[in-house]
Amino acid sequence: MANRPGGELAARPLHFFFITDCSGSMAADGKIQALNNAVREALPHMRRVADENPNAQVLLRALKFSNGAQWHVSQPTPVNDFEWNDLSADGQTDMGRALSVLANELKMPPMSERALPPVLVLISDGQPTDDFSSGLKNLLEEPWGRKAVRVAIAIGEDANLKVLQDFIDNPEIRPLEANNPEALLYYIRWASTVVLQKASEPANPAGLIAGGVVPIPLPAHKSDPTNDVW
Amino acid sequence: MTTGNIMRVLSASVPGRKHRMGGTPNQDAIAWVENLERQTAILCLSDGHGNVGGFRSDRGSRFAVQAALHSLEAFIAWFDPGVDPIKVQDALLERVPREIVRRWRDAVASDLFERPFKSEEMSRYFSSRVNASSRWEAVLNPVAAYGATLLAVFVCAAGWGCLQLGDGDILVLTGSDQPFRPVPVDERCRGVETTSLCLPEAWRDFRAAFLPRQDTEVRLILAATDGYANSFKDEAAFFQAPRDWLRTIRTEGVDEVEKKMPEWLADHSAMSGDDVTLGLIVRELEDGRDIYELNEGDKYESGGD
């Protein structure tokens, strides 16, 4: 029997980024530890979703921002090999710098044309202290930045919902407000599973008519305000 | 001397994993005609969007390939081999897309009249939309429910040509052995975006190419919905496909290859997760030989026109 015509086959890469606020305020009331716990708890669920979607090769990275922005996990890491080392909190909220660093990684190359839309999960409890607008402009100028699935989680009532909505840049999706550890856990798991699942699906074009973003279902979580601590 | 050249069309379409598991229909469609006597072949493929808003795109893609097939049949009958190729290309880009879009919209309108949206279709659609303005889309622009792309290729006595709207791929193999894209990639059609028949003034987004036969003899044209190219590791692996298909057809025979196509395409669908539809137009001599030597790709055998 003849061989299948054509060269080697491979699943399409799906780049998933955690973009985490590590400013000093995240040290208060156990926020940073709740974030660390939530990401660690979400990983097995991410692996399950990745296993169920063999057409996507899920690659994780993590970027942190406080005074400037630094990679916490710099290399695109297969989800089965990804380990979460605890973040600590200190310094300012250079969110704009983080988006500029991210924009560089979403250029082609290093991104490939055949990638699935990346997933960007921004988690913050505060106000940007640098030039957020320039960072966002840099990100949205990149084709993969524009087409990325962008989700934002606001921790506590001091989080700037306006800048998080600007980051999302889609009126269909609102920032998710986590005012207690249980809600943060829920939303990080939701982003790591439901959003990942939708982004892993083969192209179901939203079409230019719909703005060209992957449609994602909304989280069903109803937070009990009596549990709010942030 | 071109007498004795014949065109063969091979095609297959397989549903993606999501559609197989969910019991939902393949959103791709394919249709073709080959006329051995007139040495013409027309092959049309369409990829229905299959997104939440495109809840009837399986029907939209079927309407698309029929609209393109009829429009191109009429177009090919219109010009003779001696016509100025520039005029053919202009007409192909200016006239045919409008005709295709008109036919497609007529088919959609008839379908909507005969099968108005059902309440379950609308409630599923509404539940996926967050704000009121986007919920109105399906009501204000019901055509979007049928959104689909289009790839159309043809070979006739005068030459060969193609039309493309939206994503998907067309590769052409001539005597040079190096496949090429006859129309440029539309940068808007990356990620989850694509141009579509359902967009206003969709005819403006078509890309087209026509080459007269005296300039270049085509050996094989490959047209595929995006699930095919997306399954390859990279562009080089994808560009290897046309020559491999030709070699396999030459060694195994058209009928044998056509039998195996669904199985091979299933591998591609498993990798990309998407519906995969592939069509090939192959030109060969009556005795089954290629018009060029296979092993010495640049050697021209048929003698041309």
Among partner residues A172, A200, A205, which is closest to B134 by beta-carbon distance? A172
Q: Which two tokens stand for residue A16?
A: 């998933």
Q: Identify the band that residue B130 occupies on the pLDDT scale cut at 50, 70 and 90.
A: low
Collapsing DSSP to helix, strand or coil, A224 comes out as coil
Report the distance separating Cα A85 and Cα A73, nearest Å: 9
What pLDDT sits at residue A200?
85
Q: Identify the band that residue B197 occupies on the pLDDT scale cut at 50, 70 and 90.
A: very high
Among partner residues B129, B141, B192, which is closest to A117 by beta-carbon distance? B192
User: A-contacting residues of B 223-252, CB under 8 Å?
Assistant: 226-227, 229-241, 244-245, 247-248, 251-252
**Residue B6 C-alpha, separation from nearest chain A C-alpha, in angstroms:** 22
What pLDDT sits at residue A136?
98
**Cβ-Cβ contacts under 8 Å, B237 against chain A:** 6-9
User: A-contacting residues of B 41-100, CB under 8 Å?
Assistant: 49-54
Buried b (16+ CB within 10 A) or exposed e, B35-51: eeeebbbbbbbbbbbbb
Between B158 and B96, where is the model more confident? B96
Query: For each of chain A's 230 residues, which pLDDT tens digit applies?
Result: 579 999 999 999 999 999 999 999 999 999 999 999 999 999 999 999 999 998 899 999 999 999 999 999 999 999 999 999 999 999 999 999 999 999 999 999 999 888 999 999 999 998 999 999 999 999 999 989 998 999 999 999 999 999 999 999 988 789 999 999 999 999 999 999 999 988 887 755 554 544 456 667 777 777 777 788 88
Q: Which two tokens stand for residue B293?
A: 């030597």
Burial of A8 (0-12, 13-18, 19+ CB in 10 A): exposed
**Residue A206 C-alpha, separation from nearest chain B C-alpha, in angstroms:** 6
What pLDDT sits at residue B287?
67
Collapsing DSSP to helix, strand or coil, B28 comes out as strand
Report the distance separating Cα B262 and Cα B157, nearest Å: 30
**Residue B242 C-alpha, separation from nearest chain A C-alpha, in angstroms:** 7
Report the distance separating Cα A92 and Cα A125, nearest Å: 12
Report the distance separating Cα A167 and Cα A176, nearest Å: 13
Between A113 and B180, where is the model more confident? B180
Q: Which two tokens stand for residue A228?
A: 């709010």
Which strand (E) or helix (H) includes residue A189?
helix A181-190
Q: What size, in residues, is chain A?
A: 230
**Residue B241 C-alpha, separation from nearest chain A C-alpha, in angstroms:** 4
Cβ–Cβ contact B35 with A under 8 A: no
- Alpha helices in B79-165, H assignment, sequence order: 85-94, 96-114, 119-127, 132-135, 137-140
Q: Which residue of B lies nearest to A54 if distances are taken between CA atoms?
A: B271
Report the distance separating Cα B165 and Cα A126, nearest Å: 45
Report the distance separating Cα B214 and Cα B211, nearest Å: 8
ipTM: 0.88
Report the distance separating Cα B209 and Cα A44, nearest Å: 50
